[in-house]
Amino acid sequence: MKVTFILNTLNFSGGVKIVVQLANGLQERGHDVSIYYPLFPKFNGRINTQKLKHIESKVPIHRFLSVREIPKSDLIIATSWESTHFVKKIVPKKGIPVYFIQHIETWNYWNTSEDSWKDEKALETYNLPWSKVVTSKWLNDNLHASYTIPLGVEIPEPCKKQYNGSAFGIYREGYWKGGHVLKSIGGITLLEDVPQEELERYMRDSDIFISTSMVEGFNLPVLEAIAHGCCVITSMTGAIPEYSLHGNLVFPVWQWDNVNAYQTTLDDLREDPQFMEIRGNRAREEAKKWTIPKMVERFEWVLNDIINKKI
């Protein structure tokens, strides 16, 4: 089948990374896949000048000035609320529309508890009469999607950790990412805008990963961390209950902004290296069920099912 993904921009985000991994995987399975993104995003006056740096694309990526440049395909996949604007202009003439949703994109609401006009635009798109594909039970519960696919990560080679209590977290802008909470936790390393290679090195060499988000569609970094054998102290967002056996393979903080809960759990873990090693190894084994090939296989099945139901 011929598949075209429509991104709104190329940025350093997990969402874009997943789209590229899916595109790469579908092409490896014999499909004709391409990625398009606009030179001028509809809801952003700046020219799209970003380049893909954190993952290699094995499929062609094109920047378009007009939607007329987007080819006819079996499936046209919107990957964000902004990109639905372009997809609406070309379907069904150029393909069957699919909406791949990795988050409820009400960013201003998550940051301020007040809806903006962009939040309202995002919410409107979730009512489009398209096949919707989401990545977690949490998203499905809120959006009542047609399909759910489990995301996956690359499973690293086993490495022997020291389990001496080294801990880190990833600082991201935005209130809902919990960066202000992360900064209040003592004795950890904060990473910000680091290359993928450096992030993987920290996951390989560190014992503890801390995630403090208020909300996530999936929370891929937590899955990546447990795949590296890290003990993870985390708020329970996105798909974490699904890939951590309902929290039994991570150390959950049920009130996402409770700094004392993160700090106390961190301090307690550091006092028991043997327990850290046992829990980290158990988590690593569970993560092996959540791989990129399985993600691609499920996504391929979903796309075929959408096509078959339109025939």
The answer to whether position 283 is within a domain reads yes
Dist CA 214 CA 210 (whole Å): 13
Tell me the pLDDT tens digit for each residue of 292-301.
Answer: 999 999 999 9
The answer to whether position 157 is within a domain reads no
Dist CA 56 CA 24 (whole Å): 9
Residues 240 and 305 in one domain: no
Confidence of residue 10 (pLDDT cuts 50, 70, 90): confident
Residues 9 and 102 in one domain: yes
The answer to whether position 203 is within a domain reads yes
Please give the pLDDT value at position 45.
63
pLDDT at 311 over 80: no
Residues 46 and 124 in one domain: yes
pLDDT at 43 over 90: no
Tell me the pLDDT tens digit for each residue of 183-235.
Answer: 999 999 999 988 888 999 999 999 999 999 999 999 999 999 999 999 999 99
DSSP state of 156: P
Dist CA 257 CA 184 (whole Å): 10
Average pLDDT, the chain: 94
The answer to whether position 63 is within a domain reads yes
Tally of domains within the chain: 2
pLDDT at 142 over 70: yes
Asked, as a colleague might, if the bond just before 156 is cis with ω within 30 of 0, I would say no
Confidence of residue 54 (pLDDT cuts 50, 70, 90): confident
Lowest mean pLDDT among 7-16, 70-79, 144-153: 7-16
Residues 226 and 252 in one domain: yes
- Domain extent, residue 215, equals 167-287
Percent of the chain with pLDDT over 70: 99
Residues 39 and 140 in one domain: yes
pLDDT at 11 over 80: no
Residues 178 and 137 in one domain: no
Residues 12 and 132 in one domain: yes
SS3 188: coil
Q: Where are the alpha helices (DSSP H) in 229-290?
A: 240-243, 259-270, 273-287
Tell me the pLDDT tens digit for each residue of 31-41.
Answer: 999 999 998 88
pLDDT at 47 over 80: no
Which residues, listed in sequence order, are joined to residue 211 by a DSSP beta bridge?
Answer: 234
HSE at residue 107, side-chain half, CA atoms within 13 A, is: 7
Dist CA 22 CA 292 (whole Å): 8
The answer to whether position 158 is within a domain reads no
Query: Per the structure block, which two tokens stand in for 80?
Result: 């964000």
Residues 147 and 252 in one domain: no
Residues 174 and 238 in one domain: yes
Confidence of residue 20 (pLDDT cuts 50, 70, 90): very high
Lowest mean pLDDT among 49-53, 84-88, 124-128, 140-144: 49-53
The answer to whether position 281 is within a domain reads yes
Distances (CA, A) of 220 to 153, 217, 237, 249, 291: 8, 9, 10, 15, 12
Residues 9 and 129 in one domain: yes
Better-predicted residue by pLDDT, 100 or 163:
100
What CATH number is associated with residue 183? Answer: 3.40.50.2000
134 close to 205: Cβ distance less than 8 angstroms: no
Please give the pLDDT value at position 161.
86
Residues 118 and 224 in one domain: no
Residues 244 and 141 in one domain: no
The answer to whether position 273 is within a domain reads yes
Please give the pLDDT value at position 182.
98
pLDDT at 104 over 80: yes
The answer to whether position 159 is within a domain reads no
Please give the pLDDT value at position 113.
95
